[in-house]
Amino acid sequence: MNKKLIRNIALAVVILTVGLTVKNKLSGMATKVEIKEDKTAPIVNVFSASPDTVGLSLELYGKLNAVNRVDLLAEVSGSFVGGDRDFLEGTAFKKGEVMIQLDNAEAKANAMSLKGNFINSILGILPDIKMDYAEDYARFEAYYNGLSLSSTLPALPEAVGTLEKFLIARGIQSAYYQVKSAEERLAKFSIRAPFDGVVAVANVKRGNLVSPGRALGTFVGTGTFEIKSAVTLAYADELSVGQKVQFTSPDVAGNWTGSIDRISPVVDAASQSINVIANVRGKDLREGMYLTGAIEGVQVFDALSLPAYMVFDNEYVYTVENDSILQKTKIQVVEWLDDQIIITGIGPGTTMVDAPTLKAAAGTIVNATEIKR
């Protein structure tokens, strides 16, 4: 038994010794690989800023509205019997043409009756004027000879002093103003075009009974239009009444020249902008069209024109300080153009980064490469 135990112990010692030896050899074969991190600084293109006076074309955009536009309302009652042309949407009328004619037979008869009485009254005072106011007789005789039931009553001859009082006492002045009142009322039965234009809305048709106050339609001028657009407050001092504006349309070929007609003195608190109203004329223009206008000659002082990609978060650009430290610099955006941005707030000599896809934090060390602009 003792010999067998001794043999087992010796075998265990041999196995343990062999295992330790193999382990040490394998550990000696292992190598340590040192991994070095590449900490190369990013390369960026830079240029030195040179702020200057930048000229730009200030853009206006808005909808056309007719300068001349009226809502037609009835002031008298009567049946709609027609006009010089059919009163329908899209029908054009020249200034002075009758758009809506209401039945005026009764009003016309009343005006004729009053006018006839007035003519008789003038005839009745002519002998007294010839006797008492001989120096005025020729004027009143000529006035009487020019009166007619079919024509508008002309103004009375001038009368002063006792002659004026004589006319008042004989009821001439009162009769005259009664006729003029009847003529004014008669004229309201004929609604005439106040300017060259077109019917935009027609609310009545031939044969309709019209009552006072009824909305008959809308008539808009076809000559001059106006367009209102908001302009940033920074340009307020650059604008003036009469300044030329070149207009184009995204839908209609051609261009039109207009001018600034009014500039609002009120600043919109939310957008810090003011309204500019410009007038424009053109045969192809129609109310409701959208136009884009350009005002040339606007100048921005101490400004830079930069590629749009250089500005991020709408108010920042990258600059470099001490030749290698990247900084985030706040600027003021004056105008966004198609692919350029007009900015202020950058001093002369500032090193600016020209990189379209730079992704780095402020304080990053960079390798700056100077480029010319």
pLDDT exceeds cutoff 50 at 33? no
pLDDT exceeds cutoff 70 at 160? yes
Domain termination site, one of 170, 187, 204: 187
Asked if the structure places residue 141 within a domain, the reply is yes
Are residue 209 and residue 172 in the same domain, yes or no? Answer: no
| pLDDT at res. 9 | 67
Of 229, 231, 233, 259, the residue nearest 244 (C-alpha): 259
Are residue 197 and residue 94 in the same domain, yes or no? Answer: yes
Are residue 244 and residue 136 in the same domain, yes or no? Answer: no
Mind listing the pLDDT tens digit for each residue in 292-301? 999 887 888 8
- Whichever domain contains 198, its CATH number is 2.40.50.100
Asked if the structure places residue 355 within a domain, the reply is yes
Is 52 strand, coil or helix? strand
79, 102 in Cβ contact below 8 A?
A: yes
| pLDDT at res. 5 | 61
Domain termination site, one of 244, 279, 299: 299
pLDDT exceeds cutoff 50 at 267? yes
Which residues make Cβ contacts (< 8 Å) with residue 101, sequence separation at least 6? 80, 81, 82, 83, 189, 190, 191
Asked if the structure places residue 1 within a domain, the reply is no
Mind listing the pLDDT tens digit for each residue in 317-331? 999 998 889 999 999
Are residue 355 and residue 339 in the same domain, yes or no? Answer: yes
Spatial strand order in the sheet of 209-210:
190-192, 98-102, 78-82, 209-210
Rounded distance, CA 333 to CA 204, Å? 54
| pLDDT at res. 37 | 39
Lowest-pLDDT range, 23-27, 86-90, 93-97, 280-284?
23-27
Are residue 272 and residue 286 in the same domain, yes or no? Answer: yes
Residue 216: domain span: 68-104+189-221
Higher pLDDT, 299 or 18: 299
Rounded distance, CA 138 to CA 129, Å? 9
Asked if the structure places residue 15 within a domain, the reply is no
Domain termination site, one of 246, 276, 299: 299
Q: What is the DSSP letter of 157?
A: P
pLDDT exceeds cutoff 70 at 1? no
**Residue-level length of the chain:** 373
315-345 burial, b at 16+ Cβ within 10 Å, e below that, comes to eebbbbeeeeebbebebebbbeeeebbbbbb
Mind listing the pLDDT tens digit for each residue in 179-200? 999 999 999 999 999 999 999 9
Asked if the structure places residue 312 within a domain, the reply is yes
Rounded distance, CA 244 to CA 279, Å? 10
Are residue 116 and residue 172 in the same domain, yes or no? Answer: yes
Helix 105-132 with 162-169: angle, nearest 10 deg: 130
Asked if the structure places residue 138 within a domain, the reply is yes
| pLDDT at res. 318 | 92
Are residue 75 and residue 128 in the same domain, yes or no? Answer: no
Of 206, 201, 194, 226, the residue nearest 93 (C-alpha): 194
pLDDT exceeds cutoff 80 at 18? no
Compute CA distances 129 → 122, 123, 159, 167, 175, whole Å: 10, 10, 11, 10, 18
The residue written with tokens 């709408």 in the block is 314
| pLDDT at res. 35 | 36
| pLDDT at res. 20 | 65
**Backbone phi, then psi, for 225, in 5-degree steps?**
-120, 160
Mind listing the pLDDT tens digit for each residue in 339-354? 889 899 999 999 999 9
Are residue 195 and residue 244 in the same domain, yes or no? Answer: no
**Backbone phi, then psi, for 240, in 5-degree steps?**
-150, 150
Are residue 329 and residue 199 in the same domain, yes or no? Answer: no
Domain count along the chain: 4
Are residue 202 and residue 100 in the same domain, yes or no? Answer: yes
| pLDDT at res. 133 | 92
50, 348 in Cβ contact below 8 A?
A: yes
Using a 10 angstrom Cβ sphere, with 0-12 exposed, 13-18 middle and 19 or more buried, the burial of residue 127 is exposed
Asked if the structure places residue 240 within a domain, the reply is yes
- Whichever domain contains 261, its CATH number is 2.40.30.170
Are residue 88 and residue 202 in the same domain, yes or no? Answer: yes
Question: How confident is the prediction for the chain on average, in pLDDT?
Answer: 87
Strand partners, 98: 192
Rounded distance, CA 257 to CA 239, Å? 16
pLDDT exceeds cutoff 60 at 29? no
Are residue 261 and residue 354 in the same domain, yes or no? Answer: no
| pLDDT at res. 7 | 67
Asked if the structure places residue 32 within a domain, the reply is no
Average pLDDT, stretch 334-340? Answer: 82
Average pLDDT, stretch 68-78? Answer: 94
Average pLDDT, stretch 155-182? Answer: 93
